[in-house]
């Protein structure tokens, strides 16, 4: 049988009320520090504008993005809170950065001078945040270089030092020692800056895990990303009370067929029926962000509130499910989220695939429409 619907039923449902509640819970958790909501990577797959609006409604004072285009999207949607650009912009992005009224993170004297020159050409004064590398070793001024960059910010017309930040590399791990070392190095930098007369308005270091597990890392502001979406930063990190998943990945059965014992299903014949089996086809696949190998590592979907195994490899546009004859064309299929009291989470996928929940939700394709729903009626992840 083939589904009669002309449209493709696969979609992502976003509960904006859950995102608002999550932001409010994080605001309470980090108080009196401010909350900066990270909405990069299309709001971790939830839709950047939807996530940003909900976060601000929930009390977030700042937003954070990874690219200038992400910041432009938020400005175009009417969001007027401060937006932190988390990486030094490329030289050809300075004018766009200033035009979008973004707050850049800077880590070199060269970038300070370059952005300052662009700000002067635009007749603007831009606030910037100095990024210090205390152990991530990815970007940022070293502890030894930080004072020189801060001095350049003070001495460059068109730019001024509004904040100082670092990024915690291992705050989600059980051992607190690496994070404590980073925080010690960061405090050393702050002391040097203050001794030289620098008085940044905002000091920030904590990501979601740091905000939850290290109160001493909260400083003036916390940059929360994954926790905003109701997903744990790591298995051992509990989310604050009131934080819940806000996303469902939903489709519907498009075809049902019987497969005899010994017959294989899908590319490569990786699923072989050991008895007569009913196979349901679902029109969603790795082109939508469902990992191709999910069925090979025990991935499941929910149909009628019951877990059903994905059969074989996931195709680009479709996957197959072993169902034992209890489903019909049109039945709702939930890949992520809740259905009738049962739930599959991004962490469930991540555990099977050897990755993290961040990668799962950020990997959900733009091909999937994001639909904002009114609230949980078994509808999202609660």
First and final CA of the chain: distance in angstroms? 33
The rounded distance, in Å, linking the Cα atoms of 244 and 17 is 10
Instruction: Supply φ then ψ for residue 52, to 5 degrees.
Output: -65, -45
Rg (CA), the chain: 24
Q: Which residues contact 85 (CB under 8 A, 6 or more apart)?
A: 64, 65, 66, 67, 68, 71, 97, 102, 103, 104, 105
CB neighbourhood size of 91 (10 A) = 11
Instruction: Report which of 183, 288, 151, 171 is spatially closest to residue 236, judged by C-alpha positions.
Output: 171
The percent helix, strand, coil of the chain (3-state, each to 5) is 35, 25, 40
| Residue-by-residue DSSP string for 261-286 | TT-EESGGG-EE-SS-EEEEEES--G
Catalytic residue positions?
40, 267
Residue 201 DSSP SS3 = coil
Looking at the DSSP bridge assignments, the partners of residue 63 are 37, 83
The rounded distance, in Å, linking the Cα atoms of 259 and 256 is 10
The rounded distance, in Å, linking the Cα atoms of 85 and 65 is 5
Looking at the DSSP bridge assignments, the partners of residue 35 are 222
């Amino acid at each position: 049988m083939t589904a009669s619907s002309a449209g493709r039923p696969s979609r992502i449902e976003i509960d904006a009320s859950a995102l608002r509640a999550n932001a409010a819970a994080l605001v309470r958790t980090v108080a009196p520090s401010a909350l900066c909501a990270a909405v990069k990577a299309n709001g971790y797959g939830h839709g950047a504008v939807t996530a940003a609006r909900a976060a601000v409604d929930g009390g977030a004072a700042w937003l954070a993005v990874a690219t200038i285009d992400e910041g432009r999207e938020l400005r175009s949607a009417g969001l007027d809170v401060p937006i932190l650009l988390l990486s030094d912009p490329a030289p050809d992005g300075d004018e766009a950065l200033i035009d979008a009224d973004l707050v850049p993170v800077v880590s070199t004297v060269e970038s300070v001078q370059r952005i300052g020159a662009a700000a002067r050409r635009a007749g603007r004064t831009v606030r910037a945040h100095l990024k210090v590398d205390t152990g991530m070793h990815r970007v940022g001024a070293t502890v030894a270089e930080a004072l020189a960059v801060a001095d350049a910010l003070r001495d460059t017309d068109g730019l001024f030092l509004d904040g100082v930040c670092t990024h915690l590399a291992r705050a989600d791990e059980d051992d607190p020692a690496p994070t404590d070392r980073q925080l010690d190095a960061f405090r050393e930098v702050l002391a040097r800056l203050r001794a030289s007369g620098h008085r940044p308005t905002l000091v920030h270091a904590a990501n979601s895990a740091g905000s939850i597990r290290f109160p001493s890392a909260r400083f003036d502001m916390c940059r929360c990303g994954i926790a905003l979406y109701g997903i744990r930063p790591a298995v051992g990190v509990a989310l604050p009370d009131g934080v819940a998943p806000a996303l469902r990945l939903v489709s519907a059965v498009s075809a049902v067929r019987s497969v005899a014992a010994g017959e294989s299903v899908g590319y490569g014949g990786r699923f072989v029926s050991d008895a007569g089996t009913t196979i349901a086809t679902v029109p969603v696949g790795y082109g939508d962000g469902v990992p191709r190998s999910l069925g090979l590592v025990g991935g499941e979907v929910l149909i009628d509130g019951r877990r059903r195994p994905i059969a074989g490899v996931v195709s680009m546009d479709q996957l197959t499910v072993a169902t034992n004859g209890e489903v019909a064309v049109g039945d709702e299929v939930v890949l992520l989220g809740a259905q009738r009291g049962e739930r599959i989470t991004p962490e469930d996928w991540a555990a099977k695939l050897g990755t993290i929940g961040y990668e799962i939700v950020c990997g959900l394709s733009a091909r999937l429409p994001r639909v904002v729903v009114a609230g949980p009626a078994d509808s999202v992840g609660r």
